[in-house]
Structure 1
């Protein structure tokens, strides 16, 4: 049975576990980076974090132009690129630690007209296994900060999954929202 913890508690567990990796987010999830770097132990866990916010920056990061940027496919490209970066940064050292890559792409509430739903896709890989999660938000019942908080929790949960931590931050979706996580 999964036990639920706060973001602070989950980050302490992450930093206490053997594992190093890279996290890349665009559109949302940057608060997860704040959590990972604001607690002691971040240098034991994090090799690199990136926020390629423009389409060109994201295309350069993943190495190809996606048909749709806020999609499961793009999140997988991002986590795969992040994992490859983790391998590169450890320079193929003899390393018994788990390496991981996490990618998050999202479209959240905005102050301009935008086609499409408020949503996020997160993907992770550790070279042996992988997983993904997504959420479709109810635009009328959440603010951008609310959506950011939930997406960041999902990113932290993805890091935890990648290094074998069972505890999770509880994702409390509304009845009018869709959420799924597969590991």
Structure 2
């Protein structure tokens, strides 16, 4: 597995070895021993989530706070998305900075998003199936979020603003400055 550190401490891009032949391909998408060696600590995933969306659907930027904070290992099973992680760790030198990575069924890249990050994505293909592992169970009372178009973050979602499909819940999220972290 090829691992690329990002400029945000703790965020890694993972590219599994893919073995292809005339029958198709095989890859090991997750191996706990190898993953924990890469991350440098033990991460135990306890919940898997999967979402299907159409082009222009933007989800996020979401996070969980306190004892329910979640680290995520995300990937795309079908289609293509722009995946975004924002550092919301108040004591971090990269607080308020973000990375954006294209994840697709074709490139098979994965992104590890540690606890203390807001996360979101926009679908760039006709449809996409998005899959992710979490190291903590979801808790509605620990939900937090930041509005996708926060000017201080200046995220380029690639698609024109008018083409984005945002849930009513996500449209009323606060700015980073006003978020409960």
TM-score (norm 1): 0.28
Q: Give the structure with the larger strand fraction.
A: 2
**More helix per residue:** 1
TM-score by length of 2: 0.28
